[in-house]
Structure 1
Amino acid sequence: MKTLSSVCVYCGASSQVADVHKEAAHALGDGLARRGIRLVYGGGRVGLMGIVADAALAAGGEVVGIIPEHIQSAEIEHTGLTELHVVDSMHTRKRMMVERSDAFVVLPGGLGTLDEMFEVLTWKQLQLHDKPVVIADVDGYWRPLLGLVDHMVAQGFARIDRSKLYSVADQVDGVFDALERLPDAQTATQTRKL
């Protein structure tokens, strides 16, 4: 994991979630900062997004937020970040998040998190990048979705080697274990034009 300088975290903006998810977000932000890895995320101050950012900042880490104008104007952006980029659209946000990151971690979240996760996985499948993706299946949150992916493969709608597309960890320590097992060449790959 020594070659990772930044990790993008996709996660929910809801605060009305179980404590186990809040604790995982805190542990991930804290763990990234303590390892000297910059957090790149959606720039919000609420929900798991705010928790992961606050934990990284409290541990002395760098945090880069990328937020679209229409969300920033609702006054939910985090104002205490190392960098906050206000962009014109969700598309610009997602592209910048990919370009500024060496790897991706997916914590529990809602439709926006699903959108971000599937886009980064699709881009990887299309060989637009070869950056690692780790799905944090905290408390079995993603288990139904992972079952759906298996179903798509079994039905012939997806021809993917899941082990090359993403890793799954059931706790935050497992996320760091997965990132540490990555070959150096994989983390050094450049992103092709998206």
Structure 2
Amino acid sequence: MKIAIYCSANNNIDPDFFAMTEELGRWIGKENHTVVFGGCNAGLMESIARSTQEAGGRTIGVVPQIIEQGGRRSDYADIDIPCDNLSDRKDIMMAQADVFVALPGGIGTLDEVFTAAASATIGYHRKRVILYNMKGFWNSLIALMDDLQQRGFIRGDYHRHIEIANSLDGLKELLKGEE
């Protein structure tokens, strides 16, 4: 299975997020899955790539030119797919992956989550987006989406397109459906 990981490229975040990301990466590697990630050598991106690769899994880094030129390309990508910009990166990651998992992240991660989910809602793909809610990181976003749905701004049940895992075991259970 190819698992796209959307996540932070910031090193200055809660250390628990790194430990939990490494645990996920080790599981992905041991299960012989592949991580598709943004190709950056910082933050949770580097953590997921390193831990997956060290546990025997494959990694595919989708690297925008600006990251490459800035010397921020991860050394833990088995395959590098160069791209022009962030829009290209999202398109390539969507094409490469079977499922999308969002770890803690910022504006870029939110952009990736909602691009993948919105694309599914109108029929571009049938792939799932899963928020890995480490330490309740996504609680505020979940509350916002619940409010939007209650007010009628989200048609149907958004959980059909964005699922939530509150633990690694919960995430593993959701991913079993993709194998």
- TM-score of the superposed pair, with normalisation by structure 1: 0.88
CA distance in 2, matches of 1:32, 1:175: 11
Q: Alignment partner of 2:164: what SS? A: strand
**Cα displacement (A) at 1:143:** 0.3
CA contact (8 A) 2:134 2:167 kept: yes
- TM-score of the superposed pair, with normalisation by structure 2: 0.96
One-letter amino acid of the structure 1 residue matched with residue 155 of structure 2 = R
CA distance in 2, matches of 1:79, 1:173: 29
Q: Does 1:179 align with 2:175?
A: yes
CA distance in 2, matches of 1:163, 1:93: 25
Which residue of the partner structure matches residue 128 of structure 1? Answer: 124
**Count of matched residue pairs:** 179
CA contact (8 A) 1:67 1:77 kept: yes
Instruction: Tell me: higher relative CO, structure 1 or 2? Use CA pairs within 8 A at least 6 residues apart.
Output: 1
Which residue of the partner structure matches residue 29 of structure 2? Answer: 33
Deviations 1:72-119 (A, max 9, x none): 211111124210112112111111101011111110001000000010
One-letter amino acid of the structure 1 residue matched with residue 165 of structure 2 = A
Runs of 4 or more above 4 Å deviation: none
CA distance in 2, matches of 1:78, 1:163: 33
CA distance in 2, matches of 1:142, 1:54: 24
One-letter amino acid of the structure 2 residue matched with residue 34 of structure 1 = K
Deviations 1:13-54 (A, max 9, x none): 011111221112111111111111111000011000000000
Which residue of the partner structure matches residue 168 of structure 1? Answer: 164
Which residue of the partner structure matches residue 191 of structure 1? Answer: none
CA contact (8 A) 2:46 2:76 kept: no
Which residue of the partner structure matches residue 8 of structure 1? Answer: 4
Q: Which runs of 5+ in 1 are unaligned?
A: 189-194
CA distance in 1, matches of 2:123, 2:62: 24
CA distance in 1, matches of 2:22, 2:113: 20
Q: Alignment partner of 2:18: what SS? A: helix
**Root mean square deviation, CA, Å:** 1.3
Q: Does 1:152 align with 2:121?
A: no
Q: Alignment partner of 1:84: what SS? A: strand
Q: How does 1:52-67 map to 2 (within 5 A)?
A: 52-67=48-63
Q: Which runs of 5+ in 2 are unaligned?
A: none
CA contact (8 A) 1:24 1:171 kept: no
CA contact (8 A) 1:45 1:76 kept: yes
Q: Does 1:119 align with 2:115?
A: yes
